[in-house]
Structure 1
Amino acid sequence: MAPNQTLFGQIYMHNLEVFQSENISYLVNDMRSAPLIDVDTELSFEQRKPFYMADYHWHQQIEINVLHKGTLEYAINNANVQISAGEMAVFWAVTPHRVSKVSDDAMLGIINIPLSAFLGWVLPQEFVQQVMHGGVITSQTEGVISLSESNRWLNCYHSENSVRNGIVSDEVCLMLRRLCSFDYKVEMFSFLRNGSSRHPNDTGYKNVQLMLDYIAKNHNKDIKVDDIAAHVKLHPKYAMGLFKNMLNVSIKQYLIIMRINHAKVLLSNTRNPIKNIANDSGFKHPGSFFAAFKSHTSLTPQQFRSETQII
């Protein structure tokens, strides 16, 4: 597993070596340097017996762990989170985590979602912000996803059929929307490493986290790069460079992503006029909203509403 000194922005890359044990495939992970936001839009799936991890690790995707059998305990930055059979945990995996306890009969389904894909889905804004702020979501309702459905997703993933994989991606999004319709528990954690795992650039990571937090809370307001930089007491050019270096996306691009995601939720869940939705999502002019929305989704806001309206 990843050594404690591995950089914050690094990602697990699966290599070709696979161990077979009790007909379960264990992927050996090799750490490679990468920015926090990935350019890959593909989901990845595993299903296996979880194992104890001596060291913390972290990577850039949104991780969904579905426990089909047994019990499992995570250590998240030295705090404990437990799930039981039929439950799941959802979190942004830049938060240091490891499996600290696991029962002998445990069986775990793992879904890794690229952050760019997660931000593009139509999900409740509160849920997205909780995950982006370092929240670990654990379900309180069994049956959000079945073992047979998890198996089908895994088999489809390995078939490498682009059409079916696109359908699976839609189904994973719908599964998260289903989860949000039930009561769930949220525990908040800091992204920063504790103790021996700290890195000399933690100050930079902390400033990026503060910028992400400020954007999450204020993206639907008329904020600019200067406001975001002032919040962390940095020169705007330095703040832009730091943000771009760690997330591989500019502050302006990320701000637009969050605003469009906000607009998607309103378009799908309300009948508010589109010009009002543009304003409520942080776009000062309807024209800039239409242009940005079409650029990011290939649809006009009205076309998107027609395809996704759920009320």
Structure 2
Amino acid sequence: MAAYSEQPACWRGQAGVMRAAHQHDDIELNLTELSPARYLFGGSEVVIPPGRVAAFWAAMPHQLIEAPANDRMHWATLPLPIVLGWGLPSGVVTRLLSGQVLLGSGPSVEAFTRWAADLASDDAELKAATVLEIQGGLRRLVRESGVSPPGGRRLERVTAMARFLAARFRDPITVRDVAEHVHLHPHYAMSLFREVLDETVNAYLTRCRLAEAQRLLLDSSVPVASVAHLAGFGSVNRFYTAFAAAHGCPPGAYRRQRLAV
């Protein structure tokens, strides 16, 4: 997984299908102008309607799999440490780290276009003002995100665990490995992770692995058994069980159905 960028960035371009999933440790904003965009994201498909802005944590493997060639998309990447420093409601951060895609009616195409131009300038004051505008746009997008669970040091530790899982999901890691990464007892780490993200460590890890498995099934001719191991599953049987539970069909059938479209 790529490290997070040092500063916010914004750009626009012609939308195109991604040949492979990728990851980077930023909060990402997406906007498509005319047509819906369809992603494989965190083990499931997500459709972003035209004119709607999506915000998500890009450490989860994600891949644009459907976007008309004549459409334009707008992207913004916000380094996670900067976003955490904005003091957003911890409930918002929790939803992002749990793999949710947040959808809102703004910022507008005009706002994205202006941000791209301003961030590319040499005017430090203009850049600082633009970052404040982006923060305001994100706050508007998530202002109805609900009640916030506990934050502070607890949220920092869960954030560190989620980042560790997103970066190391291909490895044979255990709950003990995750707990040691944040210097906590395994039982407390598991309890804290579930309390804040409403999901177990193992469920989060499985979602990361399923997202990678989807990418391999659609973008390569790797045999299904090899997909299981390359995505981090310890056995083919475990992979088949998890994939069928998430997608309603075995991985081989999923590949045939998707590639036939």
TM range (shorter): 0.5 to 0.7
Are 1:156 and 2:123 an aligned pair?
Answer: no
Where does 1:60-79 land on structure 2 (aligned, <5 Å)?
60-79=25-44
Q: Aligned AA for 1:203?
A: I
Partner of 2:66: 101
Deviation at 1:99, TM superposition (A): 0.4
Contact 1:63 1:90 in 2 (8 A): yes
Contact 1:46 1:110 in 2 (8 A): yes
Contact 1:71 1:84 in 2 (8 A): yes
1:179 to 141, 149, 165: 141
Q: Cα–Cα, structure 1 residues 104 and 183, in superposed 2: closer, same or farther, change >3 Å?
A: farther
CA distance in 1, matches of 2:75, 2:115: 11
Q: Cα–Cα, structure 1 residues 178 and 228, in superposed 2: closer, same or farther, change >3 Å?
A: farther
Contact 1:156 1:164 in 2 (8 A): yes
Contact 2:15 2:70 in 1 (8 A): no
Q: Aligned AA for 2:173?
A: T
Q: Cα–Cα, structure 1 residues 204 and 104, in superposed 2: closer, same or farther, change >3 Å?
A: same
Say which SS state the counterpart of residue 101 (structure 2) adopts: strand
Partner of 2:23: 58
Partner of 1:130: 95
Larger proportion of helix: 2
Q: Aligned AA for 1:123?
A: L
Q: Cα–Cα, structure 1 residues 128 and 231, in superposed 2: closer, same or farther, change >3 Å?
A: closer
**Residue deviations 1:163-206, cap 9 Å, x none?**
1111111111111111123579xxxxx9867xxx962x251699
CA distance in 1, matches of 2:93, 2:6: 18
Partner of 2:189: 231
Give me the CA root mean square deviation.
3.2
Deviation at 1:65, TM superposition (A): 0.7
**Residue deviations 1:42-92, cap 9 Å, x none?**
101110112101211111111111222221100114411001211111111
- How many residues end up aligned between the 2 structures? 174
Say which SS state the counterpart of residue 21 (structure 2) adopts: coil
Say which SS state the counterpart of residue 159 (structure 1) adopts: coil
Deviation at 1:231, TM superposition (A): 2.7
Q: Cα–Cα, structure 1 residues 121 and 198, in superposed 2: closer, same or farther, change >3 Å?
A: closer
Where does 1:272-283 land on structure 2 (aligned, <5 Å)?
none
Q: Aligned AA for 2:39?
A: Y
Contact 2:118 2:126 in 1 (8 A): yes
TM-score normalised according to structure 1 size = 0.49
Segments of 5+ residues of structure 2 without an aligned counterpart are 147-161, 192-261
Q: Cα–Cα, structure 1 residues 55 and 178, in superposed 2: closer, same or farther, change >3 Å?
A: same
Deviation at 1:112, TM superposition (A): 0.5
Q: Aligned AA for 2:189?
A: H
Q: What fraction of aligned residue pairs are identical, expressed as a percent? A: 22
Deviation at 1:153, TM superposition (A): 0.6
Contact 2:42 2:99 in 1 (8 A): no
Partner of 2:157: none
Contact 2:30 2:55 in 1 (8 A): yes
**Residue deviations 1:229-269, cap 9 Å, x none?**
75359xxxxxxxxxxxxxxxxxxxxxxxxxxxxxxxxxxxx
Say which SS state the counterpart of residue 181 (structure 1) adopts: coil
Determine which structure has greater relative contact order: mean sequence separation of CA pairs < 8 Å that are 6+ residues apart, divided by chain length. Answer: 2
Are 1:83 and 2:41 an aligned pair?
Answer: no
Q: Cα–Cα, structure 1 residues 206 and 118, in superposed 2: closer, same or farther, change >3 Å?
A: farther
Partner of 1:48: 13
Q: Aligned AA for 1:75?
A: L
Structure with the greater alpha carbon radius of gyration: 1
Where does 1:106-255 land on structure 2 (aligned, <5 Å)?
106-139=71-104, 142=105, 144-182=106-144, 199=170, 201-203=171-173, 207-208=177-178, 225-227=183-185, 230-231=188-189
CA distance in 2, matches of 1:48, 1:165: 21
Contact 2:103 2:141 in 1 (8 A): no
